[in-house]
């Protein structure tokens, strides 16, 4: 593999990975250049003469790839590859390698962090105690904001992949009944009941989204779907922002059509100042985080290790050919 030793490797958006120990190991694979952030107009120049491009969210379109004759491998530092024109890259003989399974535990954990924050009314009670109101209470507790248990409730999962399956297992530990909708229509899991989307929305106390963004899921949950849900239902979206119509979500929250929502992903990231998300009236009904479910320290390290593994496997394959 000596002939690959000095090949140029460029990380286009290293700031999205943070400082994790594994990232320095990329230096062992070639001439490494790390850019913290790359604007669309900078991509072409930064990848000229580069053999391996590593991107998390920077878009590598057909137009960009077509102008990079030296590009031999694209590594996506994520599971989703919707920011790369995979079909065109493959047509040009450029493999596109992603990393699967690195964030399963972290995303499942964050799913329940969002959910339990809403179910147990933590924002209200935290403010109640810290404001000093609890000091004035005649009783030792507060029953102003009733909350319910997951035990005995129906937990509906949209997308029963690795993350969805992990969430399903945790939900059953709480005593919930799990049902799921397959967005591809191809997934069958004998452990849980598969239903159509309409039935899932009607039955579920929690609707938990763990699906990729594609032609079958874009705009999957909109005004019509929110009207099917229970009034006490909570929506959790840690899949992709484009799956849920944000205008419809905020309208559903403001009108009381659903009880709450936990959102980690948005139609535009970072979120725009004019986003409908910022128009929610009762902020205690909505908990939002800036696309961080995937980003535990352990997960980011596993992610970089996965990228390194993909490059090594590609180099070994090239050396044998």
240 assigned to active site: yes
Question: 19, 63, 269, 298: which one is catalytic?
Answer: 269
Helices (H) and strands (E) in the chain, counts: 10, 12
Q: CB within 8 A of 132, min separation 6: which ones? A: none
* 274 half-sphere exposure, CB direction, 13 A CA radius: 0
Q: CB within 8 A of 187, min separation 6: which ones? A: 160, 161, 194
CA 321 vs CA 90, 92, 182, 229, 315: distances in Å: 18, 17, 40, 55, 10
Question: 240, 285, 300, 302: which one is catalytic?
Answer: 240
Question: 285, 291, 300, 302: which one is catalytic?
Answer: 291
310: nearest Cα among 134, 97, 156: 97
Neighbours of 231 (CB within 10 A): 9
Residue 105 to residue 93: CA distance in whole angstroms: 34
Active-site annotation, residues:
240, 269, 291
């Amino acid at each position: 593999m000596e002939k690959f030793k000095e090949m140029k490797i460029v990380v286009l958006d290293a700031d999205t990975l943070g400082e994790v120990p594994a990232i320095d190991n990329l230096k062992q694979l070639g001439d490494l250049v790390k850019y913290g952030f790359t604007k669309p107009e900078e991509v072409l120049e930064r990848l000229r003469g580069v053999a391996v491009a590593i991107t998390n969210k920077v878009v590598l379109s057909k137009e960009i790839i077509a102008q990079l004759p030296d590009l031999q491998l694209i590594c996506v530092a994520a599971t989703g590859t919707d920011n790369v024109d995979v079909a065109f890259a493959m047509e040009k003989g450029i493999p596109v390698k992603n990393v699967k399974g690195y964030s399963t535990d972290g995303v499942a954990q964050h799913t329940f962090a969002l959910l339990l924050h809403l179910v147990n009314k933590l924002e209200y009670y935290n403010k109640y105690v810290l404001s000093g109101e609890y000091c004035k209470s005649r009783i030792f507790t507060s029953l102003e904001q009733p909350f319910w248990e997951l035990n005995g409730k129906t937990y509906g999962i949209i997308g029963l992949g690795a993350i969805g399956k992990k969430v399903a297992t945790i939900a059953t530990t709480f005593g919930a009944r799990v049902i799921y909708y397959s967005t591809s229509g191809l997934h069958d899991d004998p452990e849980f009941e598969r239903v159509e989307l309409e039935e899932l929305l009607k039955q579920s106390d929690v609707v938990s989204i763990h699906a990729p963004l594609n032609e079958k899921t874009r705009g999957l949950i909109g005004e019509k779907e929110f009207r099917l849900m229970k009034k006490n239902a909570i929506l959790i979206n840690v899949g992709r922002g484009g799956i849920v119509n944000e205008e419809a979500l905020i309208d559903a929250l403001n009108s009381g059509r659903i009880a709450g929502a936990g959102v980690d992903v948005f139609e535009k990231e970072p979120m725009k100042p004019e986003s409908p998300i910022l128009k929610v009236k009762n902020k205690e009904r909505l908990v939002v985080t800036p696309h961080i479910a995937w980003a535990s320290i352990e997960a980011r390290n596993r992610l970089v290790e996965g990228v390194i593994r993909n490059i090594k496997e590609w180099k070994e394959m090239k050396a044998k050919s």
